[in-house]
């Protein structure tokens, strides 16, 4: 028996705000989260701006001792998980902890911890490396910490697939509930990769925008003058449950996850194939998994990173799958406002897709000034719209050729 999988809790810590309400308001307002870097002095770098998290207080979610022993990415995950669990009405106790699990993905893990301890080792010697370095750095620690905090003894692991990590986390959690391995899951992702080393690395591969004079205009998916993505930090977590489990405890149901598709490009370590065939296959698998007709899909939250090649390849993928219906779709990118949260991006964008379906409000793609004729689908340029949406897809693609598409729809009893 296949179980329906519903969403009962959401949590966000993003460059637009430290919670769901502020982030969603920022998305609908078309507000950019990009600004000059404040976490460290970026003067030596070619790129000196990013989408940093603003207004996050870890002491809302943990004591001071814990905050010193958890990398920032894990703090974001714990904050987002707390919000999601609270919204789901599960902060007191999970009804079936043995069959409730945690999957939280991260593309990199504790990068700030890694950089700080490498510097300490080189400059001051091995005795100055923190004894907490390993558990602070490893990408799976966020899932472990959430599991420990809430006593969840079901499936527990991390997904690490670059920028598809948290989309995989939600997809695998959906699949486990659908097939009865678990009754509920806390799933999502987190990243805190805005460090000097990471910015330098992405900049040296010419992946980042260099609009230092106008950071808020730098992330411009589908615009002809786009010149790379903007790095972002944050965390995003959902609570998923089987429909039966949610109804039995009287939960408020926010929406339903109805499809999950994935594929591999088998092409190149950082670039998609020009025709986007890997992305297209992930979309097709998602539609097949959810038994979703092409004409039921009204909105796609694009991976849309603002890179010259990637945006074109994704546009071609959508056209190849949807044919004439592609012209009727909304194909917009919230990364124009949040920047790219790497391993946290998929979960954030899945939540944005769910909220769009739930509210009928669709966030814009900002910084649309000069249309790119190769990216000619409707991107909701610059100003949000209201539209009745049936099914929304969320695309996530990662270095290494990892492709994921998730599908959400309004909950109907």
Q: Record the tokens describing residue 368, joined without a space.
A: 């649309």
Nearest to 99 by CA among 26, 33, 32, 154: 154
* 225 DSSP 8-state letter: T
Q: Note if 375 is an active site residue.
A: no
Candidates 163, 286, 350, 375; catalytic one: 163
The torsion angles phi and psi of 122, rounded to 5 degrees, stand at: -70, -45
Q: Record the tokens describing residue 365, joined without a space.
A: 């793609």
Q: Note if 340 is an active site residue.
A: yes
Identify the three-state secondary structure at position 350.
helix
Q: Record the tokens describing residue 111, joined without a space.
A: 């990068």
Q: Are strands 402-409 and 330-332 parallel, antiparallel or unpaired?
A: unpaired
Report how far residue 377's alpha carbon sits from residue 291's, in angstroms, rounded to the nearest whole number.
24
Candidates 245, 285, 340, 402; catalytic one: 340
Q: Note if 3 is an active site residue.
A: no
Report how far residue 276's alpha carbon sits from residue 316's, in angstroms, rounded to the nearest whole number.
6
Q: In the β-sheet with 156-157, what is the strand arrangement from edge to edge?
A: 156-157, 100-105, 184-191, 234-242, 5-13, 255-264, 402-409, 391-398, 297-301, 330-332
- Name 188's Cβ contacts closer than 8 Å, sequence gap at least 6: 11, 77, 80, 81, 84, 104, 105, 166, 169, 170, 235, 236, 237, 238, 344, 347
Classify residue 49 by burial, with Cβ atoms within 10 Å: 0-12, 13-18, 19+: buried
Candidates 168, 303, 350, 402; catalytic one: 303
Q: Could you give the residue numbers annotated as active site?
A: 163, 303, 340
């Amino acid at each position: 028996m296949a179980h329906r999988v519903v969403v009962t809790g959401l949590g966000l810590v993003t460059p637009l705000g430290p919670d769901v309400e502020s982030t969603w308001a920022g998305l609908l307002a078309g507000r950019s989260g990009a600004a000059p870097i404040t976490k460290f002095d970026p003067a030596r770098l070619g790129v000196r701006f990013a989408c940093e998290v603003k207004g996050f207080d870890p002491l809302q979610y943990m004591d001071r001792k814990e905050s010193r022993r958890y990398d920032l990415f894990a703090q974001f995950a714990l904050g987002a998980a707390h919000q999601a669990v609270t919204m789901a009405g599960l902060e007191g106790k999970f009804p079936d902890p043995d069959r409730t699990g945690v999957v939280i993905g991260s593309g990199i893990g504790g990068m700030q911890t890694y950089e700080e301890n490498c510097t300490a080792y080189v400059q001051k010697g091995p005795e100055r490396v923190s004894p907490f370095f390993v558990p602070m750095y490893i990408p799976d620690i966020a899932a472990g910490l959430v599991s420990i905090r809430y006593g969840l003894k079901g499936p527990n692991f991390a997904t690490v697939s670059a920028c598809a990590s948290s989309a995989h986390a939600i997809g695998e959690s959906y699949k486990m509930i659908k097939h009865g391995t678990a009754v509920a899951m806390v799933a999502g992702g987190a990243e805190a990769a805005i460090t000097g080393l990471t910015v330098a690395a992405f900049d040296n591969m010419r992946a980042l925008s260099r609009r230092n004079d106008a950071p808020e205009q730098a992330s411009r998916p589908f615009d002809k003058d786009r010149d790379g993505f903007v790095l972002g930090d944050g965390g995003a977590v959902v609570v998923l449950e089987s429909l039966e489990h949610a109804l039995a405890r009287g939960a408020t149901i926010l929406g339903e996850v109805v499809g999950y598709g994935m594929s591999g490009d088998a092409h190149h370590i950082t670039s998609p194939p020009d025709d986007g065939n890997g992305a297209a296959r992930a979309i097709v698998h998602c539609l097949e998994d959810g038994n979703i007709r092409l004409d039921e899909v009204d909105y796609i939250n694009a991976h849309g990173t603002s890179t010259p090649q990637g945006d074109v390849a994704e546009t071609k993928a959508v056209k190849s799958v949807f044919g004439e219906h592609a012209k009727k779709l909304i194909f917009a990118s919230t990364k124009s406002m949040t920047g790219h949260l790497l391993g946290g991006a998929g979960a954030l964008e899945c939540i944005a897709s769910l909220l769009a379906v739930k509210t009928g409000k669709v966030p814009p793609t900002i910084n649309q000034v000069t249309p790119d004729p190769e990216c000619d689908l409707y991107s909701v340029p610059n100003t949000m719209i209201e539209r009745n949406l049936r099914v929304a897809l969320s695309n996530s693609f990662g270095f290494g050729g990892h492709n994921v598409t998730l599908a959400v729809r309004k909950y109907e009893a």
